[in-house]
Amino acid sequence: MSKLTKKILIINGVVIISLLLIGGWFWYAQSQMYVKMGFAQDKFPYRVYTLQEMASMYSQEPLEN
C-alpha cells in the first residue's frame, strides 16, 4: 500500500470511530433525559413506556387514587 492509501484509511477509521462515539453519547443523553422526565425505565435498555403503562402509573383525574 502506498502512503496516501494508508493515510486515507487512517483518516476514515478515525472519522468513523468519532461518529460512533458521538452518536452513542447523544443516544445516552437522550435516554437519560427521558428517564428524568419519567417517560422511560431507568435500567439499561431504557425502554420508553407505552401509553397504557403511563396511564396506569399517573392518575388522569385530580381526585383519582
Q: In the structure, what pLDDT confidence band is assigned to residue 60 with cuts at 50, 70 and 90?
A: confident
User: What is the pTM assigned to this prediction?
Assistant: 0.73
Distances (CA, A) of 2 to 14, 21, 28, 60: 19, 29, 39, 67
pLDDT tens readout for residues 4-52: 999 999 999 999 999 999 999 999 999 999 999 999 999 888 999 999 9
Distances (CA, A) of 14 to 1, 7, 20, 55: 19, 11, 10, 45
